[in-house]
Each structure stands twice: as C-alpha cells, then as structure tokens.
C-alpha cells in the first residue's frame, strides 16, 4: 500500500522523446510533502495505453537539490504496487484501473520543503507505422498516442509537456487543450495549472520517422567460463523490422541509386568490450565477411552488414561471438569467484529485445551459485551441460527477461565456489587416458588373438632367423681370410717365428669357433629346410677348400724362409695358389655374392626367404 494523501505536485515538467522507434518520457517532479518526517513513498502512475509497452523505469534525485535530504542517495528505489492508499483500483475510472503504479522511496525529509526528483520511463513498440505499408520509394510515417497531462495520484499545481519529434513532415498533432506552441525544439503543451489527481488528455501524433524500426524477437546469449583464462560470449539474434512493410517488389538497382535507404537498414553497429578478441559473425549459410571491426579506446566497434538490407516486414538471423580475458570479468578470493559482466551488449542503436534468454555456463563441480541482477529477471531451473572431458556436467544458470531496451545494458554478477584442486582434474584424466591407451597397445601387440595359428608363417620366420645367423657368421669368417693374409705378410717381413705362431693360432681358434657355430645352425636348418641345408653344406665345403689353399700358402712361406725351396719356386707356387683363391668356384665370398642370390632369384626353396 503506497501513500498518496501527503504529497502535492508543485511543478511537473515532462519531455516525450519520439525521435526514434523507442518512446522515452522524462518527468521532472517537484513535490511537497505535508506529512511527518521519515521515509517517503511517492506513487508514480503509467498511462493505461502504455502499460504493456513499459520496458524500463528509474528515478533519480537531481544533484542540485540533494541538500534537501539527510542522505546523499542519487538513485531511488522503485517497486511496483497493486493499490494506492485511500483508493481501490477496481473502483476507479476505467482509465486508471488499467494503469500501472510504482512506489518510489524518497529519502527522509522534514515536512514542508520541496522534494525534486526525475523519473525516466522507456517504452518499446509504442510507436507504430501509419500507413502500415509503403513502396520502396515512399517515406515512412508513424503514429503514437500520448497523455498531454501528467497522470498522477496527487493534485498538480503547474505542469508542462514537451513532445520532441524528429526532423521531417508532421501530418497531425493534438492542438487541444491550449496553450500549444510548435517550434523547432518540438511541441510544447502548457503550462497547465491546478489539475486534479488522475487527470488525463490523450493526443495522437502522426509524423515522418525514418529511423530503423528494429526489434530482436529472440536473443539467446551464452557465456561460458573457463578458469584457464578465457570467457566466451555468443549471441544468437533473430531480428525483425516492424516498420512500414514493403509493398511491391524490391529493386536492387533502385536501391543502389539511393531509393529506399531512408526506410531500410543496410548495416548494424554493435559495441563490444574493448578487450573482445576472436570476433566472428555468421548466419545460417556460414561466415559473413562483410563486417568491419574498429578498436576504440574503451570499446570495440563492429559494423555488421547482413546479406540483404532490412525493409519493413523483413527479418534475419545471425550469430555474433567473441572471447574475453578472464582477468577482466572473473574475480577470485580464495575459492570464491565472482563473474561480473554486462547482461546484454549494445547490439544496435535504440535496441529493443522482445525476449532474451541468458545462459551462464560455469566450470564443473562449482557449488553455492548465486545470481545478482540490477533489475528484475526470471531465473529458470539450472541446467547441466556436458562438454569435453566432463563427467558430472557443468552447472548452467538460466535467466529469462522480456522487453529489454538500451537502458538494460547493465552489469550482473554470478557468485560461485570452486576448489582449485579440481582445476587439474581434466588434465589428469587426459594423462591417465593416454597412459592406459599405451598400456593396452603394449599388451595387444604381445598377444596372439588368432583362432588358429599359421604354422607356415611361423616356420618361415624361424628359418629366416636361422639363415640370417648363417650369413652373419659367414661374414665374420670371411673377415678372418684377410687376417690370414695379414699374418702371413707380416711373417714374410719380420721373420719372427714366435709372433707368427701366436697370431696364427689365434686366427685358427676364431675360425674353428665360427665353424662350430655354423655346423650347429646347419643342423637346425636341415630339420626345417633341406634345400637350404644343402646350400649351407656347399658353403662349408668351399670354405674347407679355401682354407686348404691358405694353409698351403703358409707352408710354402715357411719353406722359403727356411731355405728348403728357392725364391723362384716360391713365387711360382704363390702365384698358382693366388689364382685358385680368386677363382669363382673356390672363393667362398664369390659364392655368397653369386650362388645365394641366384638361389633367391630362382626361388627354389619352400619358403620365400630374403638372403
């Protein structure tokens, strides 16, 4: 119940701004309170024909008159009321019964002094196009209805109303009650004196208005918080031009010549935070490149150009998003966090939003979530959203608000608690997952999951391994042949019998060990591959003949050094032995290079080994 009998309006000055598609009314009230000192409740009424279009209301104290109050409050508290003291809404006139009332809390004051404050109201869709349809070349005219007098629950001694219209033709305006004065500033009504409570005089205005009549029918705003240093923002916008509908066909040629620019919207100018980065703009088709970004000192200006200009009755859909550094919007004290951001961005001039849904996606495992809004909103049930690496899901704060205007660009806050140890939970999950993956791969490659074993392949692998060992041993034995030659050459030069004997025995010992290993491998190969075993035996026979030639050369060297044969006889014998060593049928190294490869090329064995 709001008080009404203790106030009297001494002076009321109203300004109705109808220059755009948004109607704004600024009412400066000088009231006198005749009751006792204390907190005062002033009842403010909204005209019946505008109550459904009311989007925003606020009351402030003029700083010049702040010394009348005991406190220095600038912005006054406003709350809606359903009844006025001494009156019943249902028993009043039909006009007042449909009005909306608000109670404005004024700071305490002594009885008698005047109290001066300002009430600002904003109305959406209060101005409509008349006529409702125009061609591309015609101008747009609009119409709205306003109360010439100040609708109040208190008597008013003196009041004046100024209606501000845009530049252009004025087809009709209310000329009564007088005095009425039209000037470049606008149309002034009054001053009127000694008007009783609940007085009203409605007037209609029909005039030219070329401003874009845009309204966002649906705005879905999503804010996702990452404690790793980023806050992502995305707006999904459905926008509609509710001005005079385009009659007839649209001509692109005429539009390029400048016909139709006054009633259409070729581009939208949005203002984002100064630190906005990674800005993107797209629609149903994909990314739209016809947009420009301009960095300013305190903001980021984005000019969005739709794929086609918006005329009356046309609509479009687009998505705009960006990222913000978390340190500018997210504040922390211990394990308590607070997100402070704008409820809605500046999307275009004089924006109107019919319906908005705000979703704030918080980190996983948050607790004690609280929302603090600068104006009344409808908080829906919290949702749960799962993204990458989430287990229980992230808490989503969902807020809904109807009928927003530019004045709603204010900051809201979301408080929550988060244990910092949970910040490393997802990285630990990734590390653990990769570790388990590697373990599974290691186990998998070491297990045989086949139903029946391939005996042929297994046998092939075993024989291939034995052949590789044979070739390795033969390579080492071939290297000993050169060692034989080096030992004999050294003996020819220094004629040291003891040194020669020691070195020769060592070479013989190494050669014997390799022959024993080859014999063992030969026996294993014979069990698996008989043809391959025959070739290994042939290699062994060649080695035996080649070793006999080496021993014969050593014997001839000993005989010539002991004087048993002449030097001429030795040279003849040595040349004959050397020729036999180099022959194709005697040298095991030639046999390895030719015979084994020849065997592979013919594939005369059971399994395709590569020697």
Centre a 10 Å sphere on the Cβ of residue 91 and count the other Cβ atoms it contains: 8
Q: CB within 8 A of 119, min separation 6: which ones?
A: 26, 27, 29, 44, 57, 58, 59, 104
Say how far apart CA 64 and CA 67 lie, in whole Å. 8
**pLDDT, position 62:** 66
**Portion of the chain with pLDDT greater than 90, in percent:** 35
Q: CB within 8 A of 213, min separation 6: which ones?
A: 21, 127, 129, 140, 142, 241, 242, 243, 312
pLDDT at 337 over 90: yes
Confidence of residue 593 (pLDDT cuts 50, 70, 90): very low
pLDDT at 546 over 70: yes
C-alpha angle 25/176/168, rounded to 5°? 60
To the nearest whole number, what is the mean pLDDT of the chain? Answer: 82
**pLDDT, position 479:** 80
3-state secondary structure of 52: helix
Q: Are 466 and 528 in contact (CB under 8 A)?
A: yes
pLDDT at 290 over 70: yes
Confidence of residue 599 (pLDDT cuts 50, 70, 90): very low
pLDDT at 457 over 80: no
**pLDDT, position 550:** 76
3-state secondary structure of 339: strand
For residue 302, report the phi and psi dihedrals to the nearest 5 degrees. Answer: -120, 120
Confidence of residue 331 (pLDDT cuts 50, 70, 90): very high
Mean pLDDT along residues 292-321: 90
Task: Please tell me the class of the 7-208 domain.
Answer: mainly beta
Confidence of residue 581 (pLDDT cuts 50, 70, 90): low
pLDDT at 553 over 50: yes
Homologous superfamily of domain range 214-424: tricorn interacting facor f3 domain (2.60.40.1730)
Delimit the CATH 2.60.40.1730 region(s) of the chain: 214-424
Is beta strand 54-61 parallel, antiparallel or unpaired with respect to 40-46?
unpaired
3-state secondary structure of 516: helix
Confidence of residue 407 (pLDDT cuts 50, 70, 90): very high
**pLDDT, position 451:** 65
Q: Are 476 and 482 in contact (CB under 8 A)?
A: no
The residues that bridge with 9 in the sheet, in sequence order, are 31, 156
Q: CB within 8 A of 96, min separation 6: which ones?
A: 45, 48, 89, 151, 198
pLDDT at 65 over 60: no
pLDDT at 98 over 60: no
Tell which residue, 134, 317, 117, 337, has the closest CA to residue 236: 317
Say how far apart CA 341 and CA 298 lie, in whole Å. 15
Mean pLDDT along residues 508-514: 82
3-state secondary structure of 256: helix
pLDDT at 99 over 60: no
**pLDDT, position 22:** 94
Calculate the alpha carbon distances from 234 to 238, 278, 286, 324, 348 in Å.
13, 11, 15, 11, 16
**pLDDT, position 66:** 43
| Beta strand extents in 198-229 (DSSP E only) | 202-208, 214-226
Q: Are 33 and 40 in contact (CB under 8 A)?
A: yes
Tell which residue, 536, 523, 518, has the closest CA to residue 477: 518
Mean pLDDT along residues 79-102: 58
Query: Which residue is listed with tokens 């692109």?
Result: 252
pLDDT at 310 over 80: yes
The 10s digit of each residue's pLDDT in 214-267 is 999 999 999 999 989 999 999 999 999 998 888 887 777 777 777 767 778 888
Say how far apart CA 459 and CA 464 lie, in whole Å. 9
Mean pLDDT along residues 71-94: 62
Mean pLDDT along residues 298-323: 90
For residue 54, report the phi and psi dihedrals to the nearest 5 degrees. Answer: -65, 125
**pLDDT, position 38:** 60
* Residue 37 DSSP class: S
Q: What tokens were used for 355?
A: 């319906």
Mean pLDDT along residues 397-409: 94
Calculate the alpha carbon distances from 464 to 452, 471, 518 in Å.
22, 11, 15
Q: What separation, in Å, do the N-terminal and C-terminal C-alpha atoms of the chain show? A: 106
Q: Which of 266-275, 454-463, 466-475 has maximum average pLDDT? A: 266-275
The 10s digit of each residue's pLDDT in 475-502 is 887 787 777 777 777 777 777 777 777 7
């Amino acid at each position: 119940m709001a008080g009404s009998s203790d106030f009297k309006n001494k002076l009321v000055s109203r300004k109705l701004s109808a220059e755009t598609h948004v109607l704004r009314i600024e009412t400066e009230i000088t009231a006198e309170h005749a009751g006792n000192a204390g907190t005062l409740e002033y009842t403010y009424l909204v005209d019946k024909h505008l109550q459904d279009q009311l989007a925003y209301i606020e009351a402030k104290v003029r700083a010049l008159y702040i010394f009348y109050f005991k406190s220095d409050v600038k912005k006054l508290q406003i709350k809606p009321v359903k009844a006025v003291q001494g009156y019943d809404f249902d028993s009043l006139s039909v006009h007042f019964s449909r009005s909306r009332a608000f109670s404005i809390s004024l700071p305490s004051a002594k009885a008698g002094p005047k109290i001066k404050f300002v009430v600002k109201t904003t109305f959406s869709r209060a101005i409509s196009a008349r006529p409702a349809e125009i061609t591309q070349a015609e101008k747009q005219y609009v119409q709205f209805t306003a109360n010439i007098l100040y609708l109040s629950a208190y008597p008013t001694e003196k009041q004046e109303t100024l209606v501000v219209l845009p530049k252009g033709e004025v087809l009709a305006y209310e000329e009564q009650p007088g005095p009425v004065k039209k000037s470049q500033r606008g149309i002034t009504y009054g001053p009127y004196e000694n008007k009783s409570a609940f007085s009203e005089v409605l007037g209609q205005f029909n005039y030219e208005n070329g401003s874009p009549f845009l309204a966002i029918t649906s705005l879905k705003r999503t804010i996702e918080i990452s404690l790793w240093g980023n806050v992502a923002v995305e707006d999904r916008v459905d926008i509609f031009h509710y001005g005079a509908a385009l009659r007839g066909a649209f001509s692109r040629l005429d539009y390029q010549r400048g016909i139709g620019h006054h009633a259409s919207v070729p581009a939208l100018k949005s203002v984002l935070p100064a630190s906005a980065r990674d800005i993107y703009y797209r629609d149903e088709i994909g990314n739209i490149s016809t947009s420009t970004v301009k960095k300013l000192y305190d903001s980021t200006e984005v000019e969005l150009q739709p794929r086609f200009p918006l005329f009356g009755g046309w609509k479009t859909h687009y998505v705009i998003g960006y990222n913000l550094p978390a340190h500018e919007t997210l504040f922390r004290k211990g394990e308590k966090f607070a997100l402070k951001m704008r409820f809605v961005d500046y999307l275009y001039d004089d924006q109107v939003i019919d319906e908005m849904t705000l979703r704030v996606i918080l980190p996983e495992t948050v607790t004690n979530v609280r929302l603090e809004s600068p104006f009344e909103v409808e908080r829906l049930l919290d949702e749960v959203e799962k993204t990458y690496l989430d287990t229980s899901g992230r808490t989503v704060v969902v807020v809904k608000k109807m009928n927003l205007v530019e004045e709603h660009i204010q900051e809201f806050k979301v408080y929550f608690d988060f244990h910092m140890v949970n910040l490393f939970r997802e990285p630990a999950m990734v590390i653990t997952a990769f570790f388990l993956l590697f373990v599974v791969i290691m186990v998998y490659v070491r297990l045989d999951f086949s139903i029946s074993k391939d005996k042929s392949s297994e046998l092939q692998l075993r024989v291939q391994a034995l052949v590789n060992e044979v070739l390795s041993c033969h390579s080492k034995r071939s290297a000993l042949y050169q060692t034989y030659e080096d030992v004999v050459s050294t003996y020819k030069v220094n004629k040291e019998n003891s040194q020669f004997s020691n070195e020769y025995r060592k070479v013989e010992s190494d050669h014997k060990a390799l022959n024993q290993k080859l014999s063992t491998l030969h026996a294993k190969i014979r069990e698996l591959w008989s043809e391959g075993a025959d070739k290994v035996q042939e290699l062994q026979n060649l080695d035996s003949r080649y070793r006999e030639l080496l021993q014969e050369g050593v014997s001839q060297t000993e005989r010539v050094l002991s004087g048993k044969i002449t030097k001429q006889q030795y040279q003849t014998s040595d040349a004959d032995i050397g020729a036999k060593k180099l022959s194709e049928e005697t040298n095991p190294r030639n046999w390895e290079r030719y015979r084994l490869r020849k065997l592979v090329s013919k594939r005369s064995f059971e399994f395709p080994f590569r020697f």
